Amino acid sequence: MRPAKSAPRVAVVGATGMVGRELVSLLERRRFPVGDLLPVSSGRGRSSVRFRGRDIPAAAPDPAALAACDVAFLVSSEEVARRFGPGLARRGVWVIDDSSEFRLDPGVPLVIPEVNASALGRDRRLIAGPNCTMTGLAVAGWPLHRAARVLRARVASYQAVSGAGRAALAEFFAQGRGLARALAFGRDGRAPVLRAPRARALPRAIAANVIPQVGSFDAAGCSGEESKVAAELRKVWGAPGLRVSVTAVRVPVVRGHALAAWLEFAQPLSPARARRLLGRAPGLDLLEAGDYPTPLDTAGRAPVRAGRVRSGVGSRELALWVVSDNLLKGAALNSVQIAELLLRRGWLRRRA
């Protein structure tokens, strides 16, 4: 299928990063109408992306070339978002930014299509995608919030290393290979006390370990990730009074963020009714009672997956378990879904 020359020109800034490569692959697999693809990379090394059977070299960022596109996916740093996002939007380019730079800006819609597509506007050309950890909670909790209103949420995360970027994942790979020989019982038959490998990209060794630090700590002792999840959930759900406490933990997993969540409601909500609501929620796969998703079986899949829906403390609280691929629904897929919505509304089209 060769799209008509009337299809939009699409830029991907950060195309050779982990999320960027997923995004380019999704554009092809989901048959997004791409007239021309402009992959952009600010990295020093020459690199290319594969798209529709061709290797397309990534270009250095060029404001004029970007402004000639109809939509620009920014899957890069906050600095890149600041540098290009507002300027391109003013020049009529739809900008879908996956960094945290504009997420809490009152003038910028923070959008998860299954939850708050209504936040999009014909003239709000700069759009933010959410933090990869809160996305699963936002999608799975939304039908429950609509039915019984969440007042308080406690969330413990089990976050994949790919969410920390390429250097962190490379470090995990190296540590994992290095530790493989040490994964053995001691000569005395005891479970080994492993020596922690040196860490650089992450704050501690991650292989055969878990690290309760994602980002840096504020004065109250919350990590950056924990604050993001709370603030973004309030914005996406339109629930400014929602109280959220998060413990964000990195685990030795490649792809797939998992969450153990407790949701306390204003109204009683039984596990059975919650299961019915979740069973028909868009973008969500609810596994059968007794079954549950894990990161390994969720990696590479589009939907958010949930299981273990049960009573928490008292009749107004539910506990549940949610897993989603942090590179897909947590990042690249959500951005592509936003662009698909813009197409369907006729707002995103090739300009003259």
According to CB under 8 A, which one of 59, 249, 341, 343 is a site residue for its own copies? Answer: 249
Q: Which residue has the tokens 């708050």?
A: 116
Q: How far apart are CA 229 and CA 248, in angstroms?
A: 9
Q: By CB under 8 A, what part of segment 312-331 binds its own copies?
A: 312-314, 317, 319, 321, 327
Residue ranges of alpha helices (H) inside the chain are: 18-29, 63-67, 78-90, 113-116, 132-148, 166-179, 224-237, 271-279, 295-298, 333-344
Q: What is the dihedral of CA 224, 226, 227, 230, to 10 degrees?
A: 150
According to CB under 8 A, which one of 11, 132, 233, 253 is a site residue for its own copies? Answer: 253
User: What distance separates the 2 farthest-apart alpha carbons in the chain?
Assistant: 75
Q: How far is the CB of 322 from its own copies (least distance, A)?
A: 10
Q: By CB under 8 A, what part of segment 93-152 binds its own copies?
A: 152
Is 332 in contact with 19 (CB distance < 8 Å)? Answer: yes
According to CB under 8 A, which one of 300, 344, 345, 351 is a site residue for its own copies? Answer: 300
**Number of amino acids touching its own copies (CB under 8 A):** 81
Q: Is 132 a catalytic residue?
A: yes
Q: With H, G, I as helix, E, B as strand and everything else as coil, classify residue 313.
A: coil
Half-sphere exposure of 349 (CA within 13 A, CB side): 8
Q: How far apart are CA 317 and CA 265, in angstroms?
A: 6
Q: By CB under 8 A, what part of segment 199-238 binds its own copies?
A: 204-205, 208-213, 217, 220-222
Q: Is 222 a catalytic residue?
A: no
Q: By CB under 8 A, what part of segment 160-199 binds its own copies?
A: 162, 166, 169-170, 172-173, 176-177, 179-181, 183-185, 188-194, 196
Q: Please identify, among the stretches 20-28, 123-131, 134-142, 337-345, the one whose residues bind its own copies according to the rule CB under 8 A.
A: 20-28
According to CB under 8 A, which one of 56, 87, 271, 350 is a site residue for its own copies? Answer: 271
Is 65 a binding residue for its own copies by CB under 8 A? The answer is no
Nearer to its own copies, 148 or 258 (CB): 258
- Structure tokens of 265? 């409601």
Q: With H, G, I as helix, E, B as strand and everything else as coil, classify residue 188.
A: coil
Q: Please identify, among the stretches 94-102, 105-113, 138-146, 309-317, the one whose residues bind its own copies according to the rule CB under 8 A.
A: 309-317
Is 283 in contact with 114 (CB distance < 8 Å)? Answer: yes
Nearer to its own copies, 177 or 344 (CB): 177
Nearer to its own copies, 92 or 268 (CB): 268
Q: How far apart are CA 285 and CA 302, in angstroms?
A: 10
Q: How far is the CB of 17 from its own copies (least distance, A)?
A: 9
Instruction: Indicate which residue of 69, 145, 222, 257 is catalytic.
Output: 257
Q: How far apart are CA 264 and CA 252, in angstroms?
A: 30
According to CB under 8 A, which one of 118, 290, 346, 352 is a site residue for its own copies? Answer: 290
Instruction: Indicate which residue of 69, 132, 145, 222 is catalytic.
Output: 132
Neighbouring CB atoms inside 10 A of 156's CB total: 15
Residues annotated as catalytic are: 132, 257
